[in-house]
A and B are shown apart, each in its own frame.
Chain A
């Protein structure tokens, strides 16, 4: 998706909407609806979207028994590992955390990726502190439902994991049996690690 195309579509679409409102005529409204429908249809058929029009291609791929993916984990001062909870870094959900894991694994020495890793680590430390001190907001109960619940830290994790000290990205190789009922193997391979002291944290 090209940047100029995104911006062009965004600007022209809304300028078109304002012009239609200004013209206040039936032919303008008909033309606008026709263009609107084309803009909704094009991404779906072509596979290329431009905000605010996307492809709406969800869960389309045919899955294989083998799956390679990235998992972001945290390590406490005792060396114990725990999976990252996306609630530490709102508004992210579990899916983007995996995407950020793959970005860090691909370019571990890139300063931007180190900044990203240190950010995730720093927020996880802060989230762990907030959980320990019971600071989670009451408002989470009246909020619009999350779009992805997924893995969540619980009281057991709060009591068994010590202070977080590092973030690691693992490349995971999963192999399932063809009926998907059993795991043939699940092989984690460490790809990146950033420690708090590398990130310039003062209290570690």
Chain B
């Protein structure tokens, strides 16, 4: 099993799960990063710095900075909607615009604002390719126009399908290009002059005098060891240029990505410059779908729902891929196997599930199980099992179950 997927060469998967995991990862990362930055600090800086900067037009009026926390709030709300897949195409592009603006203003004071750019790129791609992302609120929303028969068929007939992952196809390429240019500029300045032990030692010493005031022990170690310095210098260039090459010609990505993350770690220790974002970004290309399947072997569920309830069928639609993968089999009254005959009369009250060991679940717990069976989403299932969350969730489920006629048009046979 590969550690990382080369989406640029192989953009199709048999499961849409990685897009969901990517959305959660990217959304949580974005919100954490946005809330951590000291935006209110920007208000205190002299306004002349903004006016005289190339990004001056990002702050055409002073109040843009005075209200910057409101803009951060809007960005966080958009990212929340992004995580749940609510109007993804608009939320993706709009979120990218807002975060590009925020980081553009931030960049006036410090170039760390540039660390937001990969997030911006991914959000734009997500907006443009939102139709490929299936496990979302949008899937539920769009199914409102479908007939009940069509929905029942979509859920219950198992097909082997393929899902395009264009977001990751182009996102991976863009991430690799950014690394490529960090290597390219070293070649531009004369590779044989740059990739020397002496130059690397000078970089470390300069960093000491410019920003650190004292030389970290790890930096001293590299400077004192000629071969370690030389290896670090060449290693940096090879890894930075190599990732793009590996992606394009189809070499395994793991050595390059792990090498780059190692490089970031060494830079953090020896120079105190820390690109933590990169560790999270590369998680987007992990084969979560394969790992999930591997971690939950041969676990199967029967899920039985009321086929006369459109709302029920629609709310199961985002889990349809579990049916295609043979992990869950969806049944309703007309397809009910004799082993589950006893639950027929209760299906109007709640959805039902049973696992291969005969354990039975009703209503809210079925959705908790559906998430639990997707190994990578087990943290969410764990949260759903907490007493308070469960109490609220069950109430919500009851309310929805009672009001499902109003929530969606139902045909009762």
Residues on A close to B: CB < 8 A?
1-3, 6-7, 10, 14, 17-18, 20-21, 24, 29, 32-33, 36-37, 40-41, 43-45, 51-65, 67, 69, 83, 89-96, 98, 112, 115-116, 119, 123, 143-151, 172, 174, 176, 178-181, 186
Q: Is the CB of A59 within 8 A of B210?
A: no
- Which of B90-98, B142-150, B346-354 forms part of the interface with chain A? B90-98
| Set of chain B residues within 8 Å of A14, measured between Cβ atoms | 93, 96-97, 100, 124
Interface flag for B182 (CB, 8 Å): yes
Q: In the complex where A98-B211, A180-B201 touch, is A91 in contact with B170 (Cβ < 8 A)?
A: no
* Interface residue SS majority, chain B: helix
B402 to chain A, nearest CB (A): 37
A65 to chain B, nearest CB (A): 7
- Which of B183-191, B253-261, B388-396 forms part of the interface with chain A? B183-191
Number of interface residues of B (CB under 8 A): 83
Which chain B residues (90-148) contact chain A, with CB distance < 8 Å? 90, 92-93, 96-97, 100, 103-104, 106-107, 109-112, 114-115, 117, 120-121, 124, 127-131
Interface flag for B213 (CB, 8 Å): yes
- Interface centre among A36, A58, A93, A174, by most chain B C-beta atoms within 10 angstroms, is A58
Interface flag for B202 (CB, 8 Å): yes
Interface flag for B37 (CB, 8 Å): yes
Q: In the complex where A44-B184, A55-B181, A151-B211 touch, is A144 in contact with B33 (Cβ < 8 A)?
A: yes
Assembly CA distance A63 to B180 (angstroms): 21
Q: Is the CB of B274 within 8 A of A147?
A: yes
Interface flag for B301 (CB, 8 Å): no
28 chain-A/chain-B pairs, Cβ below 8 angstroms: A3-B56, A17-B96, A18-B93, A21-B89, A21-B92, A21-B130, A32-B128, A36-B170, A44-B180, A60-B188, A83-B213, A89-B41, A90-B38, A91-B42, A91-B106, A92-B41, A93-B112, A96-B111, A115-B46, A119-B45, A144-B33, A144-B37, A147-B115, A147-B274, A147-B276, A148-B273, A180-B201, A181-B224
